[in-house]
Structures are given as C-alpha cells and as structure tokens.
Amino acid sequence: MTHDTIVILDFGSQFSQLIARRVREAKVYSELLSWTTPAEKVLALNPKGFILSGGPNSVYEAGAPTLPRYVLESGLPVLGICYGMQLLAYNLGGKVAASQKREYGPADLQVDVVDSLLFRDWEIGRLRDSISQSPNLNQVWMSHGDKVEQLPPGFRPLAHSDNSPLAAATDVARRYYAVQFHPEVAHTPQGSTVLRNFVVEICGCTPDWTPASFIEEQVGVIRAQVGDGRVVLGLSGGVDSAVAAALIHRAIGDQLTCIFVDHGLLRQGEALQVVATFEREQGMHLIAVNAIEEYLEALAGITDPEQKRKIIGEKFVRIFEREAQKLGQIDFLAQGTIYPDVIESAGKDKKDARVIKTHHNVGGLPEDMDFELVEPLRLLFKDEVRQLGVALGLPESLVWRQPFPGPGLAIRCLGEVTWERLERLRLADAIFVEELRGAEMLKWGTQQAFAVLLPVKSVGVMGDGRTYQEVIALRAVTTEDFMTADWARLSYDLLARVSRRIVNEVSGVNRVVYDITSKPPGTIEWE
C-alpha cells in the first residue's frame, strides 16, 4: 500500500517536528527533511505538496537558508509557515523586512477571506477577556522579528492581526499559501484545521495513514527484508522496543528472538510484566537474563550520573553480545528506533541517518557488530507508536507506560546505587503512580511522573522518636512535545495522600518534596 506524502522542509524551527506530527494526526503521511536534502531524494518520495517550516534566520541575511529551486519548479502546492512564508514571498518578488515591533506569543487572528480553502471550518470565537475563561478560538501563536511588508504579484491577503497586516496570504492559481503564525503549536487552537485543509483540501491527499494500514504495510516490508533470516531484538521493557517486537513477531513469528536483560533498575513489577506479556501472552521466543548482581557490582560506589550511564550501557552490550552468540547464526538486529531518533541522528550525521544512538533501546551497540538493522518504527512518532501498540493487542498498561530513561532507576537514585536504595525508590515511585492512576491523572493529567531518591538526609519525628532519613522528591510534568514542560498542578489532597503513604510505607524515608521547576530552566529528569 502506498500513501500520499507531504514533505516538510526544515529551516531550523524548534517546532518542525510538530508540523510533521500534526499532518500525521490528519491521517496523511509526512516526512521532515532538511532544506539541504538533495532534490533527487526529496522528489523520490513523490510528494503531493510542500510545507516550509519556520526558522531563526532573516531571509535577507548572508548565509541564511534558501528555498530549493525544485520546490517552485515542481508545480506542487506550497504552505510557508513564518520563515517559510517570508522565504516564499522573498523568492517570488515580495518584500520582507524587520518588523518595528517584534511579535512573540499569542495574537488574535482576524480571518478576512472566510471562503478560503485554507480557513475552511475555521470557527470564529469570541476574544478572551478578563472575565471569560473560555478558550479564544481566534488565538494564534506568533514568533517572528521579520514580516512580509509587500506580497508578491498574484498574492492576496487572507487574514491579519494587530501587528501583522499580512498574517496569511495566498496565490490561489499557483496553490501557494503562507501564514505568519505557527499552526502546529498547541497555542494555536485551530492550527490543526489549517494544516488539515492544506494537505487534504488543497494538496488532495487521501487521509489513510492509520495504524491498521501501517501494520499491513510493514508486515510485508519486514518479510521481504528478512526472508528466511533470524532476527534478535534487545527488549528493554519500554514502549518502543515492545511495539517493535510485537510488529516483527506478527511478520516472521519464531524467526525473532528477544533478549530481555533484567538489570534490577526497572520500576516495580515491570520485569515480571515483560516476561508475562511477551513470552506467555504473545508467545514469543524470549530469553530473560537475570543480571541484577552484575549491575550492582559494576555500579558499586559510583555516584556520577554520566559514569552510571556509561557503565549501564557497556554492561548491556557485553551481556547482549554474550547471549546473542549462544543463538548461533543471527542475520538481523531489530531496534525500536522511532522518527525523532532518526531526525536527531540525521542532524548529527548528514551522510547517514541510520546511526545507532548510544542511549537507545539496545544501549549503544558497537557499529562493527555484523547485523543488518530492522527498524520498523523508524517512521513513527511516539504517539503513533502507542496507537500501533494498541492495534497490535499489547496491554494498555504497557502501551501507555510513561517515558522511562534508558539507564532506568539508576539516574533517579541520586548518589550511590544499592539494592536497598533501589527498593526504597521503587516502592515510593509505585505509590505515586498508583495514586495518580486512582485520581485519573496518570494517562491524561500528566505526561511524565516519577519519584527521585535524594542523597541527603533530614531530621524527622516518628512517634516518640527522632529520625534521620532520606528524602523523596516527586516530579510530575505536563507537556505537548517534551521539548518544553511545565510542572503539573496536582491537588493538595493528592499530594498529601502520596506524602503520607510514602512516609508511612517506605522504610528509610521521612520527608517528601514536590518539584515545581519548569523546563526550561530545569530538565524533566534530575540527572
């Protein structure tokens, strides 16, 4: 099965991946490529339209990213966003200049041409005021220092804001569209409508990019690649490797062997769930290795987080190699690489996007390992991976598991990693997650929530006795894309229950604190 494709050219915007995600949400396949990508590679995708992303440059600066010639020569529809709008106008004879008043943040958009295809189904809402708490459907998100002052010949304006008289424009005959705002971000409530109108109504794409169609397509691709060969996959217990394993197993059955290394650094019950799900329920050939003692010995006395990461990654490589060699002839290595990994790797290595990331599911396998890669998820975003997991019949408790660092609890156990401290952290984390789930805050109310064990002690009083014990920090964030995040406004009653339970039920802890740092300036994880 082939799908219509939209190519998004990246000019350096921090929101470029969001454009691709929004187009995918409209059930249209999209690929995000650098504006420097060779024309033959781009056109080989047989795109039905182009979207030009935003970017930090000014189009008239020396050395600024330029519009590839093939975009206009293709005769295909084009949507320019922010810098993309300015680039389109600049190349077609318009005028772009620095704005007297830079515009960063929310703005109210007035759609002037309501019958434009780009704004079809755009709902006109009342403006936000100091009394109403209803969302402002006219709101868009601006982020620009330059703006189009004069449209190119053939263009007409479609919308304006107080500071942008030309906030949207079109040349209908050539199917060129441009918007100064960012339709891809959550702060533009109706942005998805604009993107869907462009890819479906203007480009004519069929919205058939669904989990079911992807499974059908990838089963054929995997079978064609693997043939009669044997595949090994390092199963981490995370969402990506789990879904990759389920998809590959559906395609080739017992030709797949999964190796699960239990390093003792997973959350409560996760090791048992991996074995139960994949060996018993899914019927996969699974090798479960108990390596807890090996990891604890290697981590003894280590407190530096980077050292922890390197030790854990190196240890996994050695154990994985050891177990893989026992299997005899193995032809393919499967990984749960997903699209953001591919994009990030391509940014670091323009010649080859298929580098094995050192922090990915298999812990950074050496490049000289004699395996061909099988990466069936490399075109999917995380939300698409979850949808695929549900379609493949994996349990929701696994599919909707919140993000978990590759080194596991070792980097949430600040200071030295010991079995006693891991168990302390594991139980505190389980209590927090259980209470969040009971309050229906785990799946939708927070995008990542966990406990951290701090290497500091504080004085407390329990009963008639004085205590001097460790501190648990709770972290819960809300985020759209994990590039930025805000701390979750959990209720005081919920936090009180969690604190009370941890202090009462977790031996060695007498104090609980809640992290209210956003990202930036902080990170989501503590290490």
Catalytic residues: 82, 182, 184
Nearest Cα residue to 475 out of 521, 435, 429: 429
Q: Provide the token pair at 84.
A: 């993309």
Distance CA 450, CA 446 (A): 10
Q: Provide the token pair at 238.
A: 């995370």
Q: What are phi and psi of 511, to 5 degrees?
A: -150, 140
Distance CA 258, CA 275 (A): 10
What pairing do the DSSP bridges indicate for beta strands 372-374 and 95-108?
Answer: unpaired
Nearest Cα residue to 342 out of 26, 34, 23, 6: 34
Do 239 and 386 form a contact (C-beta atoms < 8 A)?
Answer: yes
Do 49 and 79 form a contact (C-beta atoms < 8 A)?
Answer: yes
Contacts with 398 (C-beta within 8 Å, 6 or more apart), sequence order: 239, 242, 273, 277, 389
Distance CA 439, CA 434 (A): 9
Nearest Cα residue to 247 out of 394, 404, 30: 394
Q: Is 157 exposed, middle or buried (0-12, 13-18, 19+ CB in 10 A)?
A: middle
Give me the DSSP letters along 393-423: T--HHHHTPPP--TTGGGGTB-S---HHHHH
Do 412 and 425 form a contact (C-beta atoms < 8 A)?
Answer: yes
Q: How far is CA 513 from the centre of its chain?
A: 28
Give me the DSSP letters along 305-357: HHHHHHHHHHHHHHHHHHHHHTT----EEE----HHHHHHHHHH-TT-S-PPP
Do 306 and 401 form a contact (C-beta atoms < 8 A)?
Answer: no
Do 454 and 471 form a contact (C-beta atoms < 8 A)?
Answer: yes
Q: Provide the token pair at 92.
A: 């077609």
Distance CA 313, CA 524 (A): 21
- Which residue is it, tokens 């054929």? 220
Q: Provide the token pair at 399.
A: 């599919």
Residue 451's beta-bridge partner residues? Answer: 474
* Long-range own/partner contacts, residues 254-257 (CB < 8 A, 24 or more apart): 254/285, 255/226, 255/228, 255/229, 255/230, 255/231, 256/230, 256/231, 256/232, 256/284, 256/285, 256/334, 257/230, 257/231, 257/232, 257/233, 257/285, 257/286, 257/287, 257/327, 257/330
